[in-house]
Amino acid sequence: MQQHFRKIINIMTPSFAGVAGVKALWWALSFGSCLGGNLSLLGSATNVVAVGAADKAGCKINFVQFLKFGGIIAIENLIIASVYIYFQIFIIKLALLQLEIFHFAHND
């Protein structure tokens, strides 16, 4: 499975060459894939296994129950991920721009 991800990353990496904030794009991809796993029962194989184990232990979890709880977790993760990606893209770029301006002003 890990080999498949390496192939995908090797294919996608050259297409992002020279794109500003490429690190933020990779984080967005990571957060997006995790978001689907948090939101629905079928979003992750681990969720299916965990619900199956809970069912064997006598704790029934249906799709709607999982969606209600997973939706709350997904919204929290979405907010945190959005703030983090915003920080990656805008705040760091702004700091670098200010550093360039400072460096340019002091070299004259």
- DSSP class of residue 31 equals H
pTM of the model: 0.57
pLDDT given for residue 25 in this prediction: 72
What backbone torsions phi and psi does residue 44 show, to the nearest 5 degrees? -150, 140
pLDDT in tens, 51-69: 999 999 999 999 899 889 8
d(CA 104, CA 80): 35
Distance of CA 47 to the CA centre of its chain: 18
Ranges under pLDDT 70 in the chain: 1-5, 9-10, 12-22, 24, 102-108
